[in-house]
Amino acid sequence: MKDTIFGSLDPELMNRVESRRAAVSRTGKMAGALAIASMPVAFGLMAKRAFAQGGLPQGIIDALKFALTLEYLEDTFYTTGVATSGLIPAGDLPIFAQISKHETKHVALLEGVLGANADPKPTFDFTAGGMFDPFNVYATFQALSQGFEDTGVRAYKGQAAALMSDNTILTTALRIHSVEARHASEVRRLRGRKGWITGNEVEIPELQAIYNGEEAANGAATSPTAAEAFDEPLTKAAVQAIVAPFIV
Amino acid sequence: MDTKLPEKNGELRFLDNLARTTGRRTFVQWAGLTLGVVALGCSDDSSGPPGDGEVNLGTGDTGILNYAYALEQLEAAFYTQVVASFYAGASADEQALLTDIKNHEVIHRDFLKAALGTAAIADLTVDFTTINFGDRASVLGAAKAFEDLGVSAYNGAGQLLTSADYLLIAGKIVSVEARHAAAIRDLLVPRSSANGSFAGDDVVDPTTGLEFPERTPAQVLTAADTYVTTTINASGLPTS
pLDDT tens-digit map of A1-49? 333 222 333 333 333 443 444 433 333 333 333 333 344 444 555 555 5
Residues 6+ apart with CB under 8 A from A53: none
Confidence tier at A82 by pLDDT (50, 70, 90): very high
**Is A214 exposed, middle or buried (CB count within 10 Å of its CB: 0-12, 13-18, 19+)?**
buried
In terms of C-beta density within 10 A (0-12 exposed, 13-18 middle, 19 or more buried), how is residue A98 classed? buried
Q: CA dihedral in degrees (B167, B171, B172, B176; nearest 10)?
A: 150
Query: Contact, A32 vs A79, CB < 8 A?
Result: yes
CA distance B130 to B142: 9
Residues of A with CB below 8 A from B171's CB? 156-157, 160, 174, 177, 231, 233
Contact, A231 vs B151, CB < 8 A?
no
Cα(B176)–Cα(A93) distance, integer angstroms: 25
B91 touches chain A (CB under 8 A): no
End-to-end CA distance of chain B: 22
Selection from B76, B69, B134 nearest residue B101 by Cα: B76
What integer best gives the mean pLDDT of chain B? 83
Q: What is the per-residue pLDDT across B121-156, written as a single tens digit (0 to 9) for each?
A: 999 999 999 999 999 999 999 999 999 999 999 999
**Of B109, B93, B88, nearest to B176 (Cα)?**
B109
- Among A97, A175, A185, select the one facing B212 at the smallest CB separation: A175
Q: How far apart are CA B158 and CA A166, in angstroms?
A: 11
What torsion do the CA atoms of B205, B211, B216, B218 make, to the nearest 10 degrees? 80
Q: What is the pLDDT of residues A150-159, one digit of tens each?
A: 999 999 999 9
Poorest-pLDDT segment among B49-53, B54-58, B203-207: B49-53
Asked whether the beta carbons of residue B176 and residue A43 sit closer than 8 angstroms, the reply is no
Distance CA A150, CA A5 (A): 28
The arithmetic mean of pLDDT across residues B220-228, rounded, is 94
Nearest by CB to residue A160, choosing from B168, B182, B211, is B168
CB-CB neighbors (< 8 A) of B210 in chain A: 40, 42, 105, 109, 172, 175-176, 179
pTM of the model: 0.82
Percent above pLDDT 90 for chain B: 72
Interface mutation target, options A142, A174, A176, A197, chain B, most CBs of B under 10 Å: A174
CA distance B193 to chain A (A): 7
Question: Which of B:188-217 have CB within 8 Å of A?
Answer: 191-196, 198-200, 204-212, 214, 216
Pairing type for strands B25-30 and B231-233 reads unpaired
A219–B114 CB contact, under 8 Å: yes
Can you list the alpha helix ranges (DSSP code H) found in chain A?
Answer: 11-26, 44-51, 58-83, 93-114, 138-159, 167-190, 208-211, 224-228, 236-243
Distance CA A171, CA A181 (A): 15
Residue B27 phi, psi dihedral angles, 5° rounding? -135, 150
Spatial CB neighbours of A188, under 8 Å, sequence gap ≥ 6: A146, A150, A194, A195, A196
Confidence (pLDDT) at B39: 30
- In this prediction, residue A225 has a pLDDT band, given cuts at 50, 70 and 90, of confident
A229–B104 C-beta distance less than 8 A = yes
Closest to A66 measured CA to CA, from A114, A31, A103, A24:
A114
pLDDT higher than threshold 90 for residue A226: no
Q: Which residues from chain A sit within 8 angstroms of residue B174, using beta carbons?
A: 174, 177-178, 181
Q: In chain A, whose CA is at the least distance from the CA of B186? A: A186
Which of A124, A102, A164, A110 is CA-nearest to residue A29? A124
Q: How far apart are CA B238 and CA B126, in angstroms?
A: 25
